[in-house]
Structure 1
Amino acid sequence: MIPSALLLTLALGAPTLDVRVSAQPGTTFSALAPSTVTVNVGGRDHVRPLRGVPDPSTPDAYTRLLPARLTLPAGTRGPATVRLRLFLCDKARGLCTVQEQTRRVLLTPGRALVVAFNAAPQGWQP
C-alpha cells in the first residue's frame, strides 16, 4: 500500500530525492557540526541537515547517517546539483575532516530519485 502523503506528492508532480550515505568501517560523523545535503535547482537552494544513529561510545558522534528524503516544490524539473557536506572522523587515527561531494541529477516531476554517496576520504585506511 502506498502512503497517502506519497500519493499526494506524486499527484502534484513534486520530485523527491532520497539521499543515502555509506561509509567505511571506523568512520563516524559529527553530531555537533551537522552534515547537510543541499539541492540547487533553478538558482534556489534547498538545504536539509542529516541525522544519524548516535555512537554509544562518543555522544558527539553518529555511527552512520540515516537516509534523507527531500521533496522539492511541485513542478520542479530539469538539471539540479546535489551537494553533500560531511563532518567525519576516522576513529582509529583520531582525525576529523570536512568532505564535500557533488552530483548532477535530472529532476522529473512526480519521480523519486536515489542519490548515493560514499564517505571514503582519500588516503584513509580503517
Structure 2
Amino acid sequence: MSGAKRTKVLVVEDELLVRIGVRDLIDDCGYEPIEAAHAAEALSILERDTEIKIVIADIAIPCPIGGLTLAKTIRSKWPPIDLIITSGKIEPTADDLPARAKFLPKPFTAGDLSAVLHGFSGPAS
C-alpha cells in the first residue's frame, strides 16, 4: 500500500485492548485507522480531519454522551460519514440507529468488519 491513499476510519472505543484490536483489523482490511477513546475525543478529531469517511463507535463508551448519541451527532454535523455501531451487550433497534448506520455485534471477525467496511466504500484504495 505504499504511496496509496487509504480511506480513513475512526474507531471510538474506551477499552484499550479492544480499540487496538479493531485498529489492527481496520488496517488489515486496507483502511487507515484513527483512534479515539471517547466521544469528546472523536468529535475533536472529526473537527480537525475532514478526510475521515467511516466511524466505528461502541455503544457503551463513557463520557457525557454514549455511542448512539455520538452517532446521531456525527450524522447531523457530517452527513456523508458512514457509521458502524458496535456492542457486545446491547442490540439497538433500527429506530435507535441514525440513517445509514449499520450495527455490528461484538465479538466480530475480520471478515465481518471487512464486509461492512467494503459495503460502504468498496475496496480500500
TM over 0.5: no
Q: Say which structure is richer in strand.
A: 1
Higher alpha-carbon Rg: 1
Give the TM-score taking structure 1 as reference length.
0.28
Between Structure 1 and Structure 2, the one with more helix by share is 2
Relative contact order higher in (CA < 8 Å, ≥ 6 apart)? 1
Q: Give TM-score scaled by structure 2 length.
A: 0.28
